[in-house]
Structure 1
Amino acid sequence: MNSLAFRAAVSRVQQRHLRRQTPAAVCSLSQTRSHAGGRVHGTRSYSTAGGRGRQMAGTAGNVLLVGSVVTLFGYIMYTLYDNLLAENGVTRVYNESLDLVRANPQIREIFGPSVMGFGEPSHGQRQRQRAISHREFEDDKGRQRLTMKYYVANKKDGGDHTGVVRVDIAKSAFTGKWDYNYVVVDVFDTANSRNAGRVEVLVTDEFAKEVRASEQTRRNRRFDVGGRGGSDGSWFSALNPSNWRK
């Protein structure tokens, strides 16, 4: 009887202890069992469904956050590579071609030693740094091409001249590398509102051969109505009659 009374007292104490705990807490229950050879102590753990739900929600949130960071980092790295490191990256082609323009003696004579490049012109000085106009396409020979257009002027005061820089690069079918076809600057005399000529900064031999072949074709078809309005009479538009008429 004493043993039964003792176990009943222990059970009542444990029940009062459990009632004092919060519902979300994990409780440890130690039970004492009597056997002929002695006592065995066992432990049971209890957890609520609400606690498991909050833990799963927290884990899912962390996974989503890490995934978003990795995706954003990958996009940033791809954008930097595509613009700065790739051979046909817009920023890279712009910087390289602008260096060629600045180093040209004729350009330095017209615009001075300080030449700046900028996007589509605007009335405000702060708005000059606009996106550079460019176009990627596949030509009739199956080559990947990139054409670009931007503007140059005197860096200090703008001067009396404005230049329109036109760039063309193509991907070689043999080497897989991108090579320049041409870099030319059409100069406009803003003081007298007239064209002041064209400076051929770079024209490759291969492209020059294509130009001569195109000019011969144009001369043979100059009275053909199919070619009307397609050229301004220059070697540039002879090869690209539709690209720069806009």
Structure 2
Amino acid sequence: MATEQPRSSGSNTQRPLTSALAQHTQKKQWKDLSTPEKVVTATKTTTNYAVIATGAVLVAAIGYAIVSELFGSNSDTRIFGDALEKVRNNDQLQEIIGTPMMGHGEASSSKRRRNRRIHSQVVLDAEGKEHLLMRFYVEGPDNEGIAHLEMVKDQRNKWEYKYLFVDIPGGVRRAQRIFVEYNKDAGLPAIDDK
């Protein structure tokens, strides 16, 4: 198989091949730029850095929001996990609902749907104190129930249980309300705080 040799134009010196784009985009030194070119270059650079900085701030803000929602001590996720653990550890509920107990959000017609929203809201009372109200569902091998909780912010701005109970619907047994936590003084100043 014969190979063709590139033909030379007669001169023995070969120039390195560069594209027209590479020749066109060779940068000038800052000192060689005219004033309008310096303004354009500075504006482009500043805009690029501003876009990068804005993107970094947005990523950081979204990351902070996700981490604080999932792992913060006042997050709904953390409060739900703590309340579910208290329900699971209650002897009366273990006997009525059975173990293992599972907690989830709003009921869904689809058993495959796993991410069911936990219903919660924060309301202000007449004195301006924040109250967190939450409802979730508890299921076990023997029965199921609906857990309700109310928490009040204390003087240290931490949530404190006012009540946590589970309503067990009637059926074979009569309907029941099992209190897991009850603190009528939640949110009130402690005696030593006065």
Calculate the TM-score normalised by the size of structure 1: 0.57
Query: Hey, which of these two has a bigger chunk of strand by percent?
Result: 1
Structure 2: gaps spanning 5 or more residues = 1-22, 187-194
Structure 1: gaps spanning 5 or more residues = 1-20, 28-44, 208-246
The structure having more radius of gyration, on CA atoms, is 1
Contact 1:120–1:128 (CA<8 Å) still a contact in 2?
no
Compare relative contact order (CA 8 Å, sep 6+) and give the higher one, 1 or 2. Answer: 2
1:94 counterpart = 2:80: yes
Instruction: Tell me the equivalent position of 1:26.
Output: 28
Q: CA deviation at 1:127?
A: 1.3
SS at match of 1:206: coil
Instruction: Tell me the equivalent position of 2:165.
Output: 184
What number of residue pairs does the alignment pair up? 162
Change (3 A) 1:46 1:151: same
Query: Hey, which of these two has a bigger chunk of helix by percent?
Result: 1
Q: 1:25, 1:129 → 2: CA distance?
A: 55
Change (3 A) 1:26 1:82: closer
Residues 12-44 of structure 1, C-alpha deviations (whole Å, 9 max, x = no match): xxxxxxxxx9597538xxxxxxxxxxxxxxxxx
Calculate the TM-score normalised by the size of structure 2: 0.71
Contact 1:148–1:167 (CA<8 Å) still a contact in 2?
yes
Q: CA deviation at 1:160?
A: 5.0
Q: 1:25, 1:128 → 2: CA distance?
A: 57
Q: CA deviation at 1:197?
A: 1.0
CA RMSD, 1 decimal: 2.8
Contact 2:98–2:143 (CA<8 Å) still a contact in 1?
no
Q: 1:22, 1:83 → 2: CA distance?
A: 52
Q: 2:25, 2:136 → 1: CA distance?
A: 70
Instruction: Tell me the equivalent position of 1:84.
Output: 71
Contact 1:183–1:201 (CA<8 Å) still a contact in 2?
yes
Q: CA deviation at 1:162?
A: 1.9
1:162 counterpart = 2:144: yes
Q: Percent identity?
A: 26
Instruction: Tell me the equivalent position of 1:67.
Output: 54
SS at match of 1:126: coil
Instruction: Tell me the equivalent position of 1:143.
Output: 129
